[in-house]
């Protein structure tokens, strides 16, 4: 019996494939700096940010130096807020919440998700919200999934995890978590609902 459904955040619950794309695109448009330059400035810090070894505030001076401009960090939080939700997926999550625990497992920066928890009111739908930067491990390892299962108080076989990267499904699948690949380009939520139904998850009211 499935008790918990965990969603990836970027590329599943949002319309952009990655959070890095959302953030750097907004900053590029806001500053007029070429997107490739903005991406390069952030890329060198991305892994440490994702694993919680640093924060955006700690590396902001280095990012600004790489961009050649002293930018107000409020621009960064505006970039976080430019994250667009996948409304169809959010609607599905709300329906699932009626009968199941619904959570998030994401490779992400702590300060970004902390801000979006408030801005998007994520905790009104999702609990737990498990972030790699808080766990110190990403979805390539079993650790983050074991942490999520512990917080949700469910066994691996009682959980489903949905992600838009097949590589991120290897570790949870090895643990016995049922996994679903969601093609973010097709965004076929009806097909996802049918797959969940095949697992015994009531994605739609009968």
The per-residue pLDDT of the chain, averaged, comes to 96
Q: Please give the structure tokens belonging to residue 175.
A: 């643990």
CB 122 within 8 A of CB 94: no
Element (H or E) spanning 145, and its range?
helix 143-152
Mean pLDDT computed over 153-179: 98
CATH of 4-15+85-198, one of 3.30.1340.30, 1.10.3720.10, 3.40.50.410, 3.40.50.1000: 3.40.50.1000
d(CA 45, CA 68): 17
Asked if residue 188 has pLDDT above 70, the reply is yes
For the chain, what are the domain ranges?
A: 4-15+85-198, 19-81
86-107 tens-digit pLDDT: 999 999 999 999 999 999 999 9
Q: Is 159 helix (H, G, I), strand (E, B) or coil?
A: strand
- pTM, two decimals, is 0.96
- pLDDT value, residue 205: 47
């Amino acid at each position: 019996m499935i008790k918990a459904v965990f969603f990836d955040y970027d590329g599943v619950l949002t319309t952009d494939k990655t959070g890095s794309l959302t953030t750097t695109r907004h900053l590029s448009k806001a500053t007029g700096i070429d997107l490739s330059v903005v991406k390069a400035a952030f890329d060198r810090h991305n892994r440490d940010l994702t694993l919680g070894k640093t924060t955006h505030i700690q590396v902001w001076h280095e990012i600004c130096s790489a961009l050649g401009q002293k930018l107000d960090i409020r621009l960064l939080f505006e970039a976080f807020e430019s994250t667009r939700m996948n409304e169809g997926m959010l609607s599905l999550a709300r329906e699932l919440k009626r009968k199941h625990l619904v959570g998030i497992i994401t490779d992400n920066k702590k300060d970004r998700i902390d801000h979006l928890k408030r801005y998007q009111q994520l905790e009104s739908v999702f609990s737990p919200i498990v972030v790699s930067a808080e766990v110190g491990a990403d979805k390539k390892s079993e650790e983050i999934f074991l942490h999520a299962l512990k917080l949700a108080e469910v066994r691996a076989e009682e959980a489903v995890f949905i992600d838009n990267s097949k590589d991120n499904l290897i570790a949870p699948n090895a643990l016995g978590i049922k996994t679903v690949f969601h093609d973010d380009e097709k965004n076929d939520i009806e097909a996802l609902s049918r797959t969940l139904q095949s697992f015994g998850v009531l994605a739609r009211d009968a």
